[in-house]
Structure 1
């Protein structure tokens, strides 16, 4: 359903997830339309900074020598992670969306930004009720983070055109599947999110009922466009 939403100033934080160089330079992990995702995420960060909102960054960095590496994590012959390895320069956050001085960077070795351990406590201390989420990959780290946020009682503003995956189909179905379970949250695009960050009232998509979006392969693109 559509509804008019406003978010009180001081109650929202911006979170950029895994916007790292490997997603535009490593042929195994390229994200479709990644330059657009980066540009939209940068706009969200700029809007948050201009309005005094907390700006957070998250990076997936894997150190296979540490005990907390998740079970069955894929590794190369030399034992290093096949993606986001700590020694790989492509694990760096892209410069367009890199943190400014003083902006926290949460380093995780699993899908959810909450797996790092400090995010939930930081949001609580700062009185944050809404998390504006951008990043990659939609069906993986975005999905896990959104679901953890909902479980913890944090409202999610999911910015659909500031997220991405390997293909449009993977991204769009990932957003649609999240939309079916985004209790307490909302979905909008970058323009709408920037206006919300600035204190405006914006028409957004918000869930009503249980699993309201029944889409097929043929109807998924239209369903996504209506969010």
Structure 2
């Protein structure tokens, strides 16, 4: 359901997930509409920086010297990772949302930004209550991070038009699936997320019960637009 939300003085942080050149240049892993998604993410980033909200970047960098291939993990013919190889220049974070000095960068060998490093501890140290999430791919690294954030007791604001995946259908169904179980959190677009970051109120979607949205191939796009 739609409801009015305000962060109401609660500490918020912005987490940008896996905005890497691979998503722009690798033909196997391109994210359609990435340019607009990056514009939305950059707007969130500018707002967070201006208002001194904590900003954290996450990057998927697969390094077999740190964590060897897992059981059944696909590898390339030369034994290297199939994507996000530590040796590839395409793991670089896109310039539109590049980190500034002092902004933590979490590098990870798996989907969730909480799987390695000290993200949870950093957020706790800053007293963060709300985690504003933007990134790619929605059904993979974004979804895993959102679920782990909830496990850590964080309220998540999922910014739907500042996330993306390999297809519109993959992205939209992922957002709907997350929205169905986003307990304690909310879904909004960039405009409303900026309002919340600036201390204003905004109308957002919250799940008033488990799985309030039942969707199918014919109505998923409209239900996504209605969030």
Equivalent-residue separation in structure 2 for 1:222 and 1:30 (angstroms): 24
What displacement does 1:21 show?
Answer: 0.3
Task: Give 1:77's aligned residue.
Answer: 77
User: Does residue 108 of structure 1 match 2:108?
Assistant: yes
What displacement does 1:10 show?
Answer: 5.6
Residue 40 of structure 1 aligns to a residue whose secondary structure is helix
Equivalent-residue separation in structure 2 for 1:121 and 1:129 (angstroms): 13
**Maintained 8 Å contact 2:10/2:130:** no
Greater than 6 Å deviation, 4+ residue runs: none
Residue 148 of structure 2 aligns to a residue whose secondary structure is helix
Task: Give 2:25's aligned residue.
Answer: 25
In the TM superposition, what whole-angstrom CA distance separates every residue of 1:163-199 from its partner, at most 9, and x where no partner exists? 0001100000000000000000000000110110000
Equivalent-residue separation in structure 1 for 2:98 and 2:10 (angstroms): 22
TM-score w.r.t. length of structure 1: 0.97
**Maintained 8 Å contact 1:70/1:110:** no
**Maintained 8 Å contact 1:13/1:132:** yes
The correspondence of residues 114-153 of structure 1 with structure 2, limited to 5 A, is 114-153=114-153
Task: Give 2:159's aligned residue.
Answer: 159
Task: Give 2:88's aligned residue.
Answer: 88
Equivalent-residue separation in structure 2 for 1:39 and 1:9 (angstroms): 27
Equivalent-residue separation in structure 2 for 1:172 and 1:224 (angstroms): 6
Equivalent-residue separation in structure 2 for 1:104 and 1:158 (angstroms): 20
**Maintained 8 Å contact 1:38/1:96:** yes
What displacement does 1:68 show?
Answer: 5.3
How many residue pairs end up in the alignment? 227
Q: Point out the more displaced range, 140-149 or 66-75.
A: 66-75
**Residue segments in structure 1 that go unaligned for 5+ positions in a row:** none
In the TM superposition, what whole-angstrom CA distance separates every residue of 1:39-76 from its partner, at most 9, and x where no partner exists? 11111010001111001000000111223554332211
